[in-house]
Amino acid sequence: MKSSNCIWITGAGGQVGQAIIQELDCVENEVLTSDQDIDVTDLEGVMRYADISHPDIIIHCAAYSDEGLCEENVETAYRVNALGARNIATAARRVNAKLIYLSTDDVFGGGGEKPLTEFDMVQPETVYGKSKYAGEQFVRELCPKHLIVRSAWIYGNSPNNFLRRFIQQAKESGAVQVPNNEISSPTSARELARFIVRLADSFEYGIYHASCEGICTRYEFACEIARLAGLSVKVEPVVGKRSSYTMLDNLMMRLTGIYTMPEWKKALEEFMKEKENR
């Protein structure tokens, strides 16, 4: 980053939070991290921490992101994803901080047939998508200096993502069934973090889509993972429970010229090579 800032990252223990920390210049910037130690659903606690630390930038990654658990625990999903975002936005406005809120392609219903821009109408169908969109609304309403970053099919160093689960299943079984009616673009947490750090050091505000370029099905994604990992597994295409098309078009990136995301296969290859060397 070009200038020195105090940056608070919520949900810093997650795959995107970890990637952002790796991308930030922690010598030039004061980086504050929180995970379980700061409860984003506790308004008084959030405000107290913001008053003490007085961050210039807040990157809000904390979320209740397991779609299945969100359906089973609706109030928890809204408490963390909506109320938590409200609290962080309120604190950001109080200390005049820029707020970067990590959102999701799930704010779209998935029933379309063309790439979705930042200007397309959202229509979430899942509890996760609805709760994250509620978070978006709070951020827009409560914090003037905000950036909402939507991404899709994120994978990184967390065990709780499609890539990691697929590799584990492939090692345990000779065949893995993967939906071929779910379509989007796999996005590396590292590439997403690079864009977020670029946004943090800019004068940009508003909504940005940030997924790797290109498009594929879950099945095609799994086949590429298996190839790069050298796995001897049969990947079987099946019809998933919920057909979805949530390909994000990074239109605002192109309009502003602020950044260009790499093609998804290139980003995946880079990640897999790094994984082998760890």
Query: pLDDT per residue over 47-82, tens digit each?
Result: 999 999 999 999 999 999 999 999 999 999 999 999
The whole-model pTM stands at: 0.95
Counting as low any pLDDT under 50, the low residues of the chain are none
- Hey, what domains does the chain have and what are their CATH numbers? 6-159+185-213+246-264 (3.40.50.720)
> Tell me, what's the pLDDT at 109?
86
Q: Is 256 left (phi over 0), alpha (psi -120 to 50) or beta?
A: alpha
Which residues, in sequence order, are CB contacts of 225 under 8 Å at separation 6+? Answer: 163, 166, 167, 231, 268, 272
Q: Which residues pair with 103 in a beta bridge?
A: 150
> Tell me, what's the pLDDT at 158?
84
> Tell me, what's the pLDDT at 278?
53
Q: Which residues pair with 73 in a beta bridge?
A: none
> Tell me, what's the pLDDT at 10?
98
> Tell me, what's the pLDDT at 74?
98
Q: What percent of the chain has pLDDT over 90?
A: 89
Tens digit of each residue's pLDDT (9 = 90 or more) over 10-23: 999 999 999 999 99
Residues recognised as catalytic: 128
Q: How many CB atoms lie within 10 A of CB 207?
A: 19
Tens digit of each residue's pLDDT (9 = 90 or more) over 88-107: 999 999 999 999 999 999 99
Nearest to 87 by CA among 44, 145, 38, 147: 44
> Tell me, what's the pLDDT at 243?
83
> Tell me, what's the pLDDT at 27?
67
* Mean pLDDT, the chain, whole residue set: 94
Nearest to 206 by CA among 106, 115, 136: 136
53, 10 contact by CB (below 8 A): no
Q: What is the DSSP letter of 106?
A: G
Residue 125 burial class via C-beta count within 10 angstroms: exposed 0-12, middle 13-18, buried 19 and up: middle
